[in-house]
Every structure is written in C-alpha cells, then in structure tokens.
Chains A and B, each alone.
Chain A
Amino acid sequence: MHTGIARMTVASIRELAFAAGALLALTAHAHHSSSMYDRTKPVTIEADVVEFRWVNPHAYLTVVDAKPQAGTAPKTWSIEMSSPGVLTRNGWTKRTFNAGDKITLKFAPLRNGDAGGIFMQATLADGKVITYSVDAQTE
C-alpha cells in the first residue's frame, strides 16, 4: 500500500463512492443505452483509482482527479463500463484496476454534468493501454 488512497478504510471508500452522486443509482440498473453519455466530448484526466467494482450488470471505477485545478477540491468520478462477462472476453479481470493505481483515464461524461462517465480508455502506470468493446467479443 503505497498511497493514501490505498490506505483508506472500506467505509471511507464507500462514502467517496456514494459522494460520486446520482450515477450510482444509474449503474445499479440493468443493461441500458449509453446515450446519456456524450462521446463527442471525451474527458481525459490523471486519476487515482479509489475502487474497481467487478459486479453485474456493469463494472465501474471510482477515481479521484489527481491533478485538480488550483484552488479546487479533487473531483471524484464514477465511471461505468460493460459487464464482467463482456470485459472478460476483452481480456480484463477483476484485477485490471486496483485501488491506488495511478492511471490516465479517458471517458465520455454524463450530459447532465454529474460526476460520472462511461469508460473509453485507460493507460496504466506501466504504459499498458486498457480498452474494450462489445463488438470485440465476435471479432
């Protein structure tokens, strides 16, 4: 455990996740259209992974912006992705991300301005690029 985030208690992680806002309620829903996310305006941030939830119907990442603008509090984002089944067929595992990982994260943000998005790509500290697509299952 080499970061402050990794030392967080389960309770504080869950509070952070809760603070990520309305998206949690959204991610609890079964498979759904992703049109509430704006793929034409992707956001890229340097982020610290708080939690990677490997659950159905959608796995998701909770991350904190590692380089917030001066004078602003770090923003916590909840980033949705596909189901563990689809992700597994794209080579992911429950350990693809771990609490404390420092990543460069690209996502499509919620159109309504809440602190949530849908995953597009991540680059791990070792340079490995993580992506997925539902189409890749049959390609």
Chain B
Amino acid sequence: MIRARLLASALTALGGLGLAPLADAQTGAPTRGDWEAIARLPDLGGVWVPDVPDQRRQERANQVPWTAAVRTQIDHLFAEDKAGRPKLLLAHCLPHGMPAWMLISHNAMEILVTPGRVTMLGEGDGNKLRRIYTDGRKHPEDPDVTMHGHSIGHWEGSTLVVDTVGVLPQAYIALSEAVGVPNNGGMHILERIHLRDPDTLADDMEITAPKVLTGTWKTTRLFKRRRGPQFDIIEGQCVQGELTEAVDEHGNAIFERNGTNADGSVPVSR
C-alpha cells in the first residue's frame, strides 16, 4: 500500500510536469486530476485545415536532402507532373500514412487530447488516424509496422513533442500528390506541435530516413483552426469511390464495384 502511494505521488509529480498522466496507480484509470491537467494545456479543439498555399511554398522553397539516386527519381516525377503525366502516389486508397499526411493532405483533421493520449482524426482516405501515447510508455522493441507508425509523445510546456517509429517502408515522403518516394524503412520522425498563434498550429518535423535521405530533413507544416458546424469533418471512405449503389436480388441496398457485379462478373447490360 505504501509502495502504491509512493508510486501515486511519483506519478503525480510527473503529471504536474506534463511528462506523464496521473492515472490511478492501481487501476491505471484516468483521474479527475488527469482531466484537470488537460485543461491547463493549449486548446487544440476545432477543425484544423491544412494551409495548402504554404504547402506549395514549401514544395519549392524547402530543399529535401535526398540521396543522389532518389533526387533523380524526384526530378523525373516533377517533370512528369509538369508534362501532365502525374504519378498517382495515393492511388491505392490507403491512408496517406506518415509523414505524407502531415506534409501534403488537403483535408482537415481534428485533435483530441485525453488522459494518456492525443488522437489525430483525419478526413478522407479511410482510416486516417494517429494515436499518440502520452502515458509515459516507450516504443515497443519490435513494433508492428503500420501506415502511421508507433507514436509516443510528451508535453514540453505548451508544445507536444511526438516521436514516431515503425512506419511501413511503403509510406511516402511526399512533396505533393504526384512527387515523393517511399521511405523504404528505418524512418524516424520527431515532431514539435504547437500553436504559432491562437488559430495556427505548426508541426515542426524532423524526418530521418536513411534509405532515401542523406541527413535529417527539417520542415514545418501549418494548419488553420476553423470552428463551427460548417467546417466539420466529413466522413470519407476512399474505397466508396470505387463502388456504386445497387440493389441485390432480395431488394437489399448494396454496393457493387464499378463495372462489375458483386461476384466480380461484368453486367450483361454493359
């Protein structure tokens, strides 16, 4: 019991510094104190819309330390896009993944701050979701690789510092929807997320990807806050664009793939 109380006071001290949540020492459940601590953090509510004009400025002004071989690919992709033959980096309908989501998305996101967690919910492209654990845990030794990776975070004053590993090698480091390369594995992303002014969120990123970059790439992306129902996130299932509404032989409302019946056969009428 004494050990539990000592642990609780240690966690309280850490929580006061914003380093870890208070959490009930025995159950791990969030406490009233955890929620009160969140009230002292910057408000990240509302809808965050990417500053797309600034993305375009960054595309030209912020040089990426690509390896020589990758730079050749990038130059080719820029030329192809300019010539009207864009490579469709996101044609697979998977989420953008990290870091492309933060770098090039045109769609909005929400940020939920709860005890032990910060959650980013994106618009469009299916499961666009980042879970950032702020409960003091470390990365797993051998994380499953995913489109958004494994993220741990902590607050340094009013800045959320996020460390991400375990991103699928296929996830793009992208400058636009037509220019970018897969990170090819071993990527590490460090972010410092903070309010630049009351309604502008800055994500200062440091991307290390030894397979495609010669050094750490530092870049910033901006998001503008919008409040009000007219700016709400719209559910966006990317794969829905490949489906059409139909009615089956029982009268059920179903989806079918464009140009094919549900069983994959081509309708006779076509």
Pairwise interchain contact A18-B259, C-beta atoms closer than 8 A: yes
Interchain pairs with CB closer than 8 A, number: 124
Pairwise interchain contact B177-A56, C-beta atoms closer than 8 A: no
Contact of B84 with A by CB under 8 A:
yes
- Contacts A30-B125, A89-B230 known; A56 to B238 CB distance under 8 Å? yes
Q: Who on chain B is nearest to A34 by CB?
A: B86
- Interchain CA distance A106-B125 in the complex, whole Å: 28
Q: Which chain A residues border B83 with CB–CB below 8 Å?
A: 35
Pairwise interchain contact B234-A84, C-beta atoms closer than 8 A: yes
Select one of B86, B89, B106 contacting A86, CB under 8 A. Answer: B106
Pairwise interchain contact B230-A84, C-beta atoms closer than 8 A: no
Stretch at the interface among B27-35, B48-56, B136-144: B48-56
Pairwise interchain contact A89-B108, C-beta atoms closer than 8 A: yes
Q: Which chain A residues border B106 with CB–CB below 8 Å?
A: 31, 82-83, 86, 134
Contact of B270 with A by CB under 8 A:
yes
Pairwise interchain contact B241-A33, C-beta atoms closer than 8 A: no
Stretch at the interface among B90-98, B147-155, B181-189: B90-98
Select one of A85, A89, A138 contacting B124, CB under 8 A. Answer: A85
Select one of B82, B94, B258 contacting A24, CB under 8 A. Answer: B258
Contact of B178 with A by CB under 8 A:
yes
Contact of B85 with A by CB under 8 A:
yes
- A:73-132 near B, CB below 8 Å: 82-86, 88-89, 91, 111
- A:1-47 near B, CB below 8 Å: 11, 14-15, 18, 24-25, 27-38
- Contacts A84-B236, A85-B124 known; A18 to B226 CB distance under 8 Å? no
Q: Which chain A residues border B252 with CB–CB below 8 Å?
A: none
- Interchain CA distance A3-B257 in the complex, whole Å: 29
- Interchain CA distance A30-B242 in the complex, whole Å: 10
Q: Which chain B residues border A36 with CB–CB below 8 Å?
A: 84-86
Interface bin, chain B = 35 or more
Contact of B123 with A by CB under 8 A:
yes
Pairwise interchain contact A57-B236, C-beta atoms closer than 8 A: yes
Pairwise interchain contact A18-B241, C-beta atoms closer than 8 A: no
Q: Which chain B residues border A85 with CB–CB below 8 Å?
A: 107-108, 123-124, 233-234, 236
- Contacts A56-B124, A137-B108 known; A35 to B240 CB distance under 8 Å? no
Select one of B49, B86, B242 contacting A138, CB under 8 A. Answer: B49
0/1 interface trace, chain A 31-75, chain B, CB 8 Å (1 if under): 111111110000000000000000111100000000000000000
Q: Which chain A residues border B146 with CB–CB below 8 Å?
A: none
Pairwise interchain contact B124-A31, C-beta atoms closer than 8 A: yes
Residues of A bordering B, CB below 8 Å: 11, 14-15, 18, 24-25, 27-38, 55-58, 82-86, 88-89, 91, 111, 134-135, 137-138
Residues of B bordering A, CB below 8 Å: 49-53, 81-94, 105-108, 123-125, 176-178, 224, 226, 230-238, 240-242, 244, 258-259, 269-270
Return the 3 tightest CB-CB contacts between A and B, nearest first. A33-B86, A33-B178, A56-B236
